[in-house]
Chains A and B, each alone.
Chain A
Amino acid sequence: MSLNVLGSLASAEGGGFETPTTAEFYQPLLFDGPLAITRPAVVLMLSVGLIAWFLIATTRRAAIVPSKGQWVTEGAYGFIRNGVARDIIGSKDFLRFVPLLFTMFVLILVNNLFGVIPPVQFPTMSRIGIPIALTLVVYVVYHYIGIKRVGLGAYFKHLVPDGLPGWIVPLIFVLEVITFFITRPLTLALRLFGNMFAGHLLLLLFITGGEYMIIHGGIGLKIAGAGSFAMAFVLTIFEILIEFLQAYIFTLLAATYIAGSLSDEH
């Protein structure tokens, strides 16, 4: 595995330390094979249940003067509605996309935060299938609006800005097609996945490494193990920041792509 460098170093000193590998992330609970019900799938469903319950409970009596729970919901909603949807898409027809963006944001945020919240401690988004599912939604939505607005042929024609010299048009066209159909969805899904995956792996490494050093190491390694735990704590705080940021970025980019399909030029 890719992180065996560290593992072999550790095993050379203490003997028998298994570095956390990418296999840590594959945890089937029921069945086996490609359609197994895995831990992230269960966590995802749990998160959907929790979010749905929370959102419905806090908005049941949506009062003009908000209660505490409503204030939280309203804060997140106002952030997405005004800070992302209205600013990026424009005040004309942003309201159509607010449910989509709000769902994205809340789902990603809660699942990301599950990465550090104790009873779950598994970032759902570190399984690439789930970011791909969300990206698929955005991908379908922004192509659908673009094609519906101007038609299929015009949509491809619009990929190239007007007024370019003739010889450069095919080049730009190829680049734009790659950007629109490959790079955008790929980066959207991989960014979320990569951040969550790497972050979780890092936390795993520091925690399991610290644990191993404290249990099996000498006095020097015990101190290093404590340092490792401290590092894990700092990184956990950092992870929380990253988790918020990634949820925001995903939503922001989704809004940007939708805005691009709605506007006349790219």
Chain B
Amino acid sequence: MTGNIAILGYGLSAIGPGVGIGLIFAAYINGVARQPEARGMLQSIAILGFALAEALAIFGLVLAFVFK
């Protein structure tokens, strides 16, 4: 089997953001369930948190391509 070890790096780097994004949306769903009227405000905050957590996974993906 041939391949690039960097792809494993990407796999590892996806774990943290995966958990983080799950937590963010869990909190978002909880918040909306408790206070449906706060949905609009919570949504942009949740998306913002999602974007920040996702950045780490994207770094992993990019680095997998950078270090051949």
Q: Determine whether A and B are in direct contact in the complex, meaning some CB atoms lie less than 8 angstroms apart.
A: yes
Q: Does A27 sit at the interface, judged by CB under 8 A?
A: no
What total of A-B pairs shows CB separation below 8 Å? 63
Q: Does A263 sit at the interface, judged by CB under 8 A?
A: no
- Contact residues in A for B61 (Cβ distance below 8 Å): 194, 197-198
Interface residues of A in 205-259 (CB under 8 A from B): 245, 248-249, 252-253, 256
Asked if A88 and B44 make an inter-chain contact with CB atoms under 8 angstroms apart, the answer reads: yes
Q: Give the bracket for the number of chain A residues in contact with chain B.
A: 20 to 34
Nearest residue (CB) in A for B41 is A87
CA A197 – CA B61 in complex, angstroms? 10
- Contact residues in A for B41 (Cβ distance below 8 Å): 87
Q: Is the interface of B mostly helix, strand, loop or mixed?
A: helix
Asked if A4 and B2 make an inter-chain contact with CB atoms under 8 angstroms apart, the answer reads: yes
- Contact residues in B for A193 (Cβ distance below 8 Å): 62
With A2-B6, A4-B2 as contacts: A191 and B64 at CB distance below 8 Å:
no
Q: Which residues of A contact B (CB under 8 A)?
A: 1-5, 8-9, 22, 83-84, 87-88, 183, 187, 190-191, 193-195, 197-198, 245, 248-249, 252-253, 256
Q: Which residues of B contact A (CB under 8 A)?
A: 1-4, 6-7, 40-41, 44, 47-48, 50-52, 54-55, 57-59, 61-62, 64-65, 68
